[in-house]
Amino acid sequence: MDELLKIEGLSKAFGETKVLRGVSLTIRRGEFLTLLGPSGCGKTTTLRIIAGLTEPDEGRVYLNGADITSLPPEKRGVNTVFQNYALFPHMNVEKNIGYGLRLRRAPKAEIAARVREMLALVKMEGYEKRMPDELSGGQRQRVAIARAVIQKPELLLLDEPLGALDLKLRQQMQQELKNLQKALGIAFLYITHDQEEALNMSDRIAIMSQGRFVQVGTPEEIYEKPASRFAAQFIGQGALFEGTVVSAENGEVCLECPEGRVLAAAREDVRPGEKAAVSVHTERVRYGREPFPGFALEGEVLSHRYAGAILLTELGLAGGRVLQAHSAGAIHSLPRPGERVHIGWESAQAAVIAGEESER
Amino acid sequence: MKKRSGLAALAPLALWTAVMVLFPMGYVLVLSFLTRGESWGVLWRFTLENYKALGDSANLEILWNSLKIGAYTTLLTFLLGYPFALAMVLQPRRRRSLLLLLVVIPFWTSALMRVYGWMILLRTRGIVNDALLGLGLIHRRVKFLNNMGAVLFGMVYSLLPFMILPVYTSLEKLSPSLQEAARDLGARPFQASWTVVFPLTVPGVMSGCVLVFVPAVGMFFISDLMGGGGSMLLGNLISYYFSAGKNWPMAAALSMLMVALTFLSVHVYRRYSGGEMGVF
Ligand SMILES: Nc1ncnc2c1ncn2[C@@H]1O[C@H](COP(=O)(O)OP(=O)(O)O)[C@@H](O)[C@H]1O
Ligand SMILES: [Mg+2]
């Protein structure tokens, strides 16, 4: 069994507000699992319950098969990198990192050696004597990681560790964290509200919304096969078309919707006559002067603009909706604003979501 | 407080310091080097006699007693005040403000009045004795007042808020995640408090110690009232020389000794609170 941690039916309310509504999840040994969801959806609460810092109203937490639900935080084999790092301000870097070993009364020489090892691991050699308030955000973050990892946990919990860093540093640290996780071979339970970060780093992602997991899967599954409208809108950039299924054959579903007729990859649970939605990512939307086979979707080119590395085109659909697409080539060679165009995409690259628009 | 506020903003402060602190201090300093007048006032004759007299065994004993009372008071207010402040921050926010109010309320009436109140309660023929007798807990009236214990009680009672408030402030500033981080890294609750919470509140504790120790050494009305005047402390001595004793220069020299003690405690405070003035 490579099952490391299991949470089962966790519920938690603070007063009247239900923050967790029965969440269950299994984390495998050595896995990088991300809890992804908008702010306030209950990510931190889940993590705190696993760390033993918050007591659940209902549900259990198992580590290596043993029920640890009622163990105090100091008796669990997990460690945490806190959102604000929570470095001890009265201890220098070395003392912060060695804190856990000093508590366990490890021999001085061993502590020194392990601290050096950790400093090397997070590339902070030479900063031993610095106080936390003399470090940059990125450096504090490294110290917080070293301080937790020195405990040799089987599972490291990280609460938005890159949240406070600027974009450049964040991208660099994403890679470093991923490498660190591989090198240590331990499982990371990582929290973020940044879908790009989650897609970039994770082995698996659990999308969370209003105290529930709405989808758990690999980045590919999450990106290509969103299980709900919430997941579809939260991941990547894209559009949703609501409508009624008119046909489902040859691996394709065809959806009749107010904007026109669109195609997507078929799914077993989607049958003709039912309500459904089609989700397509912006970079997969095509447009041109020729119709796309199977599609009946038209629009008017509204504008082209350079958005960083890509050329973004806005298309006005029937009913006034605006659909975004990526364009290739120079602006002057593209259909001009005001021109009417046909719109479509590879049916295999769009996903269909079963059911009516009500859940979320 | 901002480190670099404009010079202009400092001007009123400088004026305040000059008028309220430097001028009277200078006056007392000058006074302490003059000779006492025949029956009243001072003669403009320079002398070091007043400072030499500080070393008299009677004065030394009073100084020693004062320091002892100051130290005991500080220790007791710490032992009572720290757990109290700790219990306060653990309360929900609304109850915290209520408790804070209760700590501050005594300041709304004169300390003198409150000490008189205690005297009435603790008299040999007072309510406390009556009650204890009535309950059969004692068989003979207890003499609560007019001893060192009563003085100490009065001091601790009067000065406790000065310990609680700075300690409370420093505890409240602490992010709860620090203690959680300690627990997460393997600290039992007491270990987390001792290795993380307490060291970070040392500046608050030191503020409290200075705020308690300095007045405890100098306050005279408590030992006058609760101690029945039988126990002289530094403050009583100064008050005596300024009034009945009619020796202003001696009183001034003793005051300078007290100022020196104050500076000393503030210096110690600054050393142990990392040079930060914390609550001050
Ligand atoms: N100790 C608490 N007391 C009251 N409400 C809380 C507490 N902790 C969290 N909450 C509330 O629970 C909800 C979820 O919080 P949290 O788990 O921190 O979300 P996330 O980490 O996903 O942003 C929020 O609405 C938050 O205000
Ligand atoms: Mg959070």
* Section B53-76 average pLDDT: 92
**Distance from chain centroid for Cα B177:** 33
Chain A nearest CA to B178, separation (Å): 5
Average pLDDT over residues B22-38: 91
Fold of B48-176+202-272: MetI-like fold (1.10.3720)
CA B217 to the chain's CA centroid: 7
Q: Is the CB of A39 under 6 A from ligand 1?
A: yes
B136 CA from centroid of ligand 2 (Å): 60
Tell me, in angstroms, the distance from the centre of ligand 2 to residue A165's CA. Answer: 16
B203 vs A contacts (CB less than 8 Å): none
Confidence bin at B2 (pLDDT 50/70/90): very low
CB contact under 8 A, B183 and A53: yes
Q: Produce one character per residue of A333-350: b if its CB has 16 or more CB atoms within 10 Å, e if not.
A: ebbeeeeebbbbbebebb
Map out the domains of chain B as residue ranges: 48-176+202-272
Ligand 1 contacts CB of residue A23 (under 6 A): no
Look up the pTM and report it: 0.83
- Alpha-carbon distance values, B94 to A13, A320, B81 (Å): 20, 52, 20
Q: Which residues pair with A278 in a beta bridge?
A: A241, A352
With CA atoms as reference, report the closest residue to B69 among B193, B213, B176: B213
Ligand 1 pocket check for A16: Cβ under 6 Å: no
| CA angle (A160, A164, A169) in 5-degree steps | 100
Report yes or no: B92 at the A interface, CB cutoff 8 Å.
Answer: no
pLDDT of B259 over the 50 cut:
yes
Chain B residue numbers with beta carbons less than 8 Å from the beta carbon of A80 are 180-181, 184
Q: Is A12 in the pocket of ligand 1 (CB under 6 A)?
A: no
pLDDT surpassing 90 at residue B38? no
pLDDT at B5: 53
| Cβ contact A287:A325 at 8 Å | yes
Q: A17 CA to middle of ligand 1, Å?
A: 9
A39 C-alpha to center of ligand 1: Å?
A: 9
Q: Which two tokens stand for residue B175?
A: 């992010």
The residue among B72, B80, B156, B148 whose CA lies nearest residue B115 is B156
Cβ contacts (< 8 Å) between A99 and chain B: which residues? 182, 185, 195
Does residue B130 surpass a pLDDT of 70? Answer: yes
What is the structure's pLDDT at B28? Answer: 93
Name the DSSP class of B55: T
> In this complex, which of B177, B187, B199 lies closest to A74 when CB atoms are compared?
B187
Q: What does the pLDDT read at residue B221?
A: 86
Atom of ligand 1 nearest to the CA of A43: 22
Closest to A238 in 3D by CA, of A248, A250, A249, A223: A223
In this model, does residue B13 exceed pLDDT 90? no
* Tokens coding B189: 């609750």
In this structure, which amino acid lies at residue A347? S
State how far the alpha carbon of B31 is from the alpha carbons of A25, A31, B248, in Å.
80, 79, 7
| Residue B172 scores a pLDDT above 60 | yes
CA of B42 to the centre of ligand 2 (A): 72
Contact A89 B200 (CB under 8 A): yes
Please state whether beta strands B42-43 and A78-81 pair in parallel, antiparallel, or not at all (unpaired).
Answer: unpaired
Give the pLDDT score at A211: 96
Contact state of A86 with B199 under an 8 Å Cβ cutoff:
no
Q: Which two tokens stand for residue B193?
A: 């408090």
pLDDT string in tens for chain A (360-residue length): 589 999 999 999 999 999 999 999 999 999 999 999 999 999 999 999 999 999 999 999 999 999 999 999 999 989 999 999 999 999 999 999 999 999 999 999 999 999 999 999 999 999 999 999 999 999 999 999 999 999 999 999 999 999 888 888 899 999 999 999 999 999 999 999 999 999 999 999 999 999 999 999 999 999 999 999 999 999 989 999 999 999 998 899 999 999 999 999 998 888 999 999 999 999 999 999 999 999 999 999 999 998 888 899 999 998 889 999 999 888 888 899 999 999 999 999 999 998 887 644
Average pLDDT, chain B: 88
pLDDT above 80 for B280: no
Q: What is the pLDDT of residue A119?
A: 96
Which comes out higher in pLDDT, residue A98 or B272?
A98
- Between CA A224 and CA A226 the distance in angstroms is 6
A327 close to A311: Cβ distance less than 8 angstroms = yes
Closest CA to A37 of A162, A217, A213: A213
Work out how many CB contacts closer than 8 A connect A with B: 60
d(C-alpha A340, C-alpha A178), whole Å: 46
Nearest to A183 by CA among A2, A30, A29: A30
Nearest protein Cα to ligand 1, atom 27: A40
Rounded-to-10 torsion of CA B33, B38, B42, B47: -10
Nearest-CA residue for atom 20 of ligand 1: A40
- Is the CB of A79 within 6 Å of ligand 1? no
Residue type, A93: V
Which of A45, A191, A194 best tests ligand 1's pocket when mutated (most atoms within 8 Å of CB)?
A: A45
- Beta pairing, strands A260-265 & A17-28: unpaired
Which H/E stretch holds residue B14?
helix B7-17
Among A301-305, A311-315, B84-88, B267-271, which is the least confidently predicted range?
B267-271
The phi, psi pair for B242, rounded to 5°, reads -75, -30
Closest CA to B160 of B212, B101, B222: B212
CA angle B239, B245, B249 (to 5 degrees): 75
pLDDT at B40: 72
- A202 φ/ψ angles, rounded to the nearest 5 degrees: -85, 150
How far, in Å, CA of A45 to CA of A64, rounded? 21
Q: Which residue of B has its CA nearest to A73?
A: B184
Helix B57-89 crosses helix B148-173 at what angle (to 10 degrees)?
40
SS (H, E, C) chain A: CCEEEEEEEEEEEECCEEEEEEEEEEEECCCEEEEECCCCCCHHHHHHHHHCCCCCCEEEEEECCEECCCCCHHHCCEEEECCCCCCCCCCCHHHHHHHHHHHCCCCHHHHHHHHHHHHHHCCCCCCCCCCHHHCCHHHHHHHHHHHHHCCCCCEEEEECCCCCCCHHHHHHHHHHHHHHHHHHCCEEEEEECCHHHHHHHCCEEEEEECCEEEEEECHHHHHHCCCCHHHHHHCCCEEEEEEEEEEEECCEEEEEECCEEEEEECCCCCCCCCEEEEEEEHHHCEEECCCCCCCEEEEEEEEEEEECCEEEEEEEEHHHCEEEEEECCCHHHCCCCCCEEEEECCHHHCEEEECCCCCC
Residues with Cβ within 8 Å of A331's Cβ and at least 6 positions away in sequence, in order, are A304, A311
Q: Is the CB of A181 under 6 A from ligand 1?
A: no
Q: Ligand 1 within 6 A of A165 CB?
A: no
Cβ <8 Å between A148 and B175: no
